[in-house]
């Protein structure tokens, strides 16, 4: 059996969120704008959840950027960059409190334990204010979108060039 055709390292950007829970959708908004601006340098996806199968065909030299809303007590609109490459995300930051779905940090840890796992996994967390039912981002979260887009574009370009 011949080896699968070699491919160059891939950078992926995944925006996570629920489009019907106001600020929970911020990851989706950022991803949409990144896709529009990124000139095909990376695969950009929008997803409602992140599971181990998302990483199924990862290789050790791949890069992954996740963007999601956070509910961690910071002022709304705060942008945090978390490096999950080296270790687990801090417990205190809950990306989606739910007893019906596995959280982002749990999915990352499961993928880390089971492999494959990308060499670089960066999470951009934007503090949300309003997670009630409904569409549309609150003003302070809306204001954080363009800065997050710029930071993600810089991050993905540095991953591509590395």
Partner 1 sequence: MKKKTRTIRVKALARVEGEGALHIKLVDDRVAEVRLEIFEPPRFFEAFLRGRSFAEAPDITARICGICPVAYQMSACHALENALGVEVGGSLRALRRLLYCGEWIESHMLHITLLHAPDFLGYEDGFEMARDHREAVQRGLELKKVGNEVMALLGGREVHPINVRVGGFYRAPRPKELAPLVERLKWARDAARDTVLWTASFPFPDHEMDYEFVSLRHPSEYPMNEGRVISNRGLDIEVAEFENHFVEEQVPHSSALHARLRERGEYLTGPLARYSLNYDRLTPLVQETAREAGLGPVCRNSFQSIVVRALEVLYACDEAIRIIEEYEPPDVSGVAIRPQAATGHGCTEAPRGILYHRYRLDAEGMIEDATIVPPTSQNQGTIESDLRRFVTAHIEDEEDVLRHQCEQVIRNYDPCISCATHFLKLHVSRE
| CB-CB neighbours of 2 under 10 Å | 4
Place of tokens 């934007």: 126
Q: How far is the CB of 115 from partner 1 (least distance, A)?
A: 8
Site string for partner 1, 25-64 (x = CB under 8 A): ---------------------------xx-----------
Q: In 10-106, where do the E strands start and end?
A: 11-16, 43-47, 63-70, 79-83
Q: Which is nearer to partner 1, 103 or 148 (CB)?
A: 103
Per CB under 8 A, 130 contacts partner 1: no
End-to-end CA distance of the chain: 32
- As measured in angstroms, the least distance from the Cβ of 128 to partner 1 is 21
- SS3 category, 123: strand
Answer for which of 1, 6, 86, 113 binds partner 1 (CB under 8 A) is 113
By CB under 8 A, tell whether 18 contacts partner 1.
Answer: no
Which among 85, 77, 79 has a CA at the least distance from the CA of 128?
A: 77
Stretch that binds partner 1, among 10-18, 60-68, 99-107, 116-124 (CB under 8 A): 99-107
Select the span of 61-69, 72-80, 96-104, 124-132 touching partner 1 (CB under 8 A).
96-104
| Alpha carbons 65 and 81: distance in angstroms, whole number | 10
């Amino acid at each position: 059996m011949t080896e699968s055709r070699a491919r160059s390292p891939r950078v992926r950007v995944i925006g996570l969120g629920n489009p019907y829970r106001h600020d929970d959708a911020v990851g989706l908004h950022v991803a949409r704008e990144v896709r529009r601006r990124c000139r095909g340098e990376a695969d950009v996806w929008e997803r409602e959840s992140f599971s181990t199968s998302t990483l199924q065909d990862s290789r050790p030299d791949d890069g992954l950027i996740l963007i999601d809303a956070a509910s961690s007590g910071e002022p709304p609109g705060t942008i945090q960059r978390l490096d999950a490459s080296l270790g687990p995300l801090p417990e205190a930051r809950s990306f989606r409190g739910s007893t019906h779905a596995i959280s982002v940090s749990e999915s990352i840890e499961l993928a880390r334990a089971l492999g494959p796992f990308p060499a670089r996994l960066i999470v951009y967390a934007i503090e949300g204010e309003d997670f009630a039912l409904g569409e549309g981002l609150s003003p302070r979260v809306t204001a954080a979108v363009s800065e997050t887009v710029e930071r993600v574009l810089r991050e993905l370009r540095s991953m591509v060039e590395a």
